[in-house]
Structure 1
Amino acid sequence: MDKFMLVFYSPYSQELAYIEQSPEAIQAEIQKWNNWIGGLAAQGKMLGTDALAPVGKVMKKGGQVVTDGPFTEGKEIVGGYMLLTAASLDEAVELAKGCPMFDMDGTVEVRPIINFE
């Protein structure tokens, strides 16, 4: 089995709309994610996942330039990631098709992890 990373992108406007939802709507969204992640975990495919805060720092020029980011004028921001195991890139893509990110008009990037050991 190979390892893959799913990177979750969402439109910045969706991130803002999400935090303004009612507690019940936020709980319903969390439950969708829990169901999808739980299904992958039950299959033994999930290796780990985390959400990312919508703000942080962007570093450039060898760390000499540090700015706030991502910026509100950015079209998409990285909202989180998941590490999973699959037999092939095609299987990893199939596993990603159930991701709730698509309900928010988001994007999921599926990338093989290269082991240099």
Structure 2
Amino acid sequence: MKQFLMIFRNRTNTADENFSKQQMQTAMKEWQDWIASIAAQGNYIGTNRLFPEGKVIQQNVITDGGFIEGSIMVAGYLLVKATSLDEAVEMATKCPNLVYGLNVEVRSVMPIEYDVNSGNFLDIK
């Protein structure tokens, strides 16, 4: 099995500002059920939500960041196992938050093994 990263993007605070408490609870339950279905198939590795605040570091420049374009931000990520990109994309199409304006980018992960004792990369696949 290969690893794939789902990168979730959303407009800043859309859900938080426009949803009632009940709508937020419903959306969270749908999200949790979706993650549970991925885990039940043995494909879940990990997920995290990201705070909107961040910094973008470039050579000699540090700016406020977290935004891709305008008010679009990276909202979080999900790391999964799948046999192919197509299988990972199929998982992503079932994301319940797509109906709320979230979009998902699916990328293949290139595993790199690093030995902290020697400071060397052991295997780049």
**What's the TM-score, normalizing by structure 2?**
0.80
**Conservation of the 8 A alpha-carbon contact between 2:67 and 2:74:** no
Aligned residues: 112
Supply the AA of the counterpart residue of 1:18. A
Assess, with a 3 A threshold, how the Cα gap between structure 1 residues 28 and 96 changes in structure 2: closer, same or farther. same
Assess, with a 3 A threshold, how the Cα gap between structure 1 residues 71 and 115 changes in structure 2: closer, same or farther. closer
Larger Rg: 2
Deviation above 3 Å: which 4+ runs of structure 1? Answer: 70-73
Partner residue, 2:117: none
**Conservation of the 8 A alpha-carbon contact between 1:101 and 1:108:** no
Cα RMSD of the aligned pairs, angstroms, is: 1.8
In 1, the alpha carbon distance for the partners of 2:71 and 2:4 equals 25
Q: Can you give the 5+ residue segments of structure 2 that lack an aligned partner in the other structure?
A: 113-122
Partner residue, 1:16: 13
Partner residue, 2:88: 92
The percent identity for this pair of structures is: 41
Partner residue, 1:5: 5
Of Structure 1 and Structure 2, the greater helix share is in 1
- Map Cα deviations across residues 11-49 of structure 1 (whole Å, 9 max, x no partner): x2xx32311232222111111110100100011111000
**What's the TM-score, normalizing by structure 1?**
0.85
In 2, the alpha carbon distance for the partners of 1:113 and 1:78 equals 18
Q: Can you give the 5+ residue segments of structure 1 that lack an aligned partner in the other structure?
A: none
Aligned with residue 51 of structure 2, among 43, 48, 53: 53
